[in-house]
Structure 1
Amino acid sequence: MKTNLEETLSYLKEMGFTEYEAKVYVSLLNQHPASAYTISQNSGVPHSRVYDITRRLIKKGVAVSTGIKPELFSPLSPDDLVDKLRREYNQFTKELEIRLKSTNFTSDFDPVWNLPNKEKSFEMACDIIDQAEKTIYTGIWSQELPLISSSLKAAAERGVRVLTLIYGKDTLDFGEIYNHDIENMGPVEELGRTLDCVVDSEMCITGALGGIEKCQVIWTKNRGLVQSIESYIAHDFYLAEIHKHFGKEIDDVFGKNLLKLRNKFHT
Structure 2
Amino acid sequence: MSAAKTDLADIIEKLGQIGFSDQEARIYVALVQIGPATAYELGKQAKLAVPNTYNVMRSLTEKGAASQVSGQPARYIAVQPQQFLETMASRTTRICEELAGQMGSLSPEANDDYVEMLSTPAAIDKRILATIEDARSQILLKATSPLPERVHKALQAAAKRGVEILFVYYGDKPKLRGGAKVRLWPHEGNGANIGADFFLLCVDFKRALAREPSGLNGAYSENRSFVYLAGVFLRHELYLAEIMTKFETEIEDAFGPALYKLRESYGMLAMEEDIRRFVESRLKRRSAEIVD
Offset, 1:55: 2.5
The answer for the alignment partner of 1:198 in structure 2 is: 202
The answer for the alignment partner of 1:256 in structure 2 is: 257
Taking the aligned partners of 2:138 and 2:58, their CA distance within structure 1 comes to: 52
The answer for the alignment partner of 2:246 in structure 1 is: 245
For residues 17-48 of structure 1, give each alpha carbon's deviation from its aligned partner in whole angstroms, at most 9, with x where no partner exists.
Answer: 3443344345556x443743454355454321
Offset, 1:251: 3.0
The answer for the alignment partner of 1:127 in structure 2 is: 130
Comparing 150-159 with 232-241, greater Cα deviation is found at 150-159
Taking the aligned partners of 1:44 and 1:260, their CA distance within structure 2 comes to: 80
The answer for the alignment partner of 1:62 in structure 2 is: 65
The answer for the alignment partner of 2:185 in structure 1 is: 178
The answer for the alignment partner of 2:219 in structure 1 is: 218
Aligned ranges 1:13-92 → 2 under 5 Å = 15-25=18-28, 31-33=33-35, 35=37, 36-37=39-40, 39-41=42-44, 43=46, 45-64=48-67, 69=73, 71-74=75-78, 76-77=80-81, 81=85, 83-92=86-95
Taking the aligned partners of 1:184 and 1:108, their CA distance within structure 2 comes to: 35
The answer for the alignment partner of 2:140 in structure 1 is: 137
Aligned ranges 1:84-103 → 2 under 5 Å = 84-100=87-103, 103=106
Q: Is the 8 A contact 1:136 1:163 kept in 2?
A: yes
Offset, 1:243: 0.6
Q: Could you say if the C-alpha distance between residues 28 and 145 of structure 1 is closer, same or farther in structure 2, counting changes exceeding 3 Å?
A: same
For residues 64-94 of structure 1, give each alpha carbon's deviation from its aligned partner in whole angstroms, at most 9, with x where no partner exists.
Answer: 555675724436537962x444433332233
* 3-state SS of 1:148 partner: helix
Q: Is the 8 A contact 2:64 2:79 kept in 1?
A: no
Could you tell me which runs of 5 or more consecutive residues in structure 2 were left unpaired when the two chains were aligned. 1-5, 273-292
Offset, 1:134: 1.5
Taking the aligned partners of 1:139 and 1:239, their CA distance within structure 2 comes to: 13
Q: Residue 210 of structure 2 aligns to which amino acid in structure 1?
A: T
Offset, 1:241: 0.8
Q: Residue 60 of structure 1 aligns to which amino acid in structure 2?
A: K
Offset, 1:122: 3.4
The answer for the alignment partner of 1:163 in structure 2 is: 166
* 3-state SS of 2:234 partner: helix
Offset, 1:216: 0.9
* TM-score normalised to structure 1 length: 0.74
For residues 167-217 of structure 1, give each alpha carbon's deviation from its aligned partner in whole angstroms, at most 9, with x where no partner exists.
Answer: 21313332111122454623x4xxxx6432222111223213646xxx212
Aligned length: 255
Q: Could you say if the C-alpha distance between residues 149 and 54 of structure 1 is closer, same or farther in structure 2, counting changes exceeding 3 Å?
A: same
Q: Could you say if the C-alpha distance between residues 183 and 103 of structure 1 is closer, same or farther in structure 2, counting changes exceeding 3 Å?
A: closer
Offset, 1:237: 0.5
Comparing 238-247 with 85-94, greater Cα deviation is found at 85-94
* 3-state SS of 1:185 partner: coil
Taking the aligned partners of 1:88 and 1:11, their CA distance within structure 2 comes to: 18
Taking the aligned partners of 2:152 and 2:111, their CA distance within structure 1 comes to: 35
* 3-state SS of 2:140 partner: strand
Q: Could you say if the C-alpha distance between residues 27 and 143 of structure 1 is closer, same or farther in structure 2, counting changes exceeding 3 Å?
A: farther
Could you tell me which runs of 5 or more consecutive residues in structure 1 were left unpaired when the two chains were aligned. none
Offset, 1:224: 1.9
- What is the RMSD of the two structures over their aligned residues, measured on CA atoms? 3.7
Comparing 107-116 with 142-151, greater Cα deviation is found at 107-116
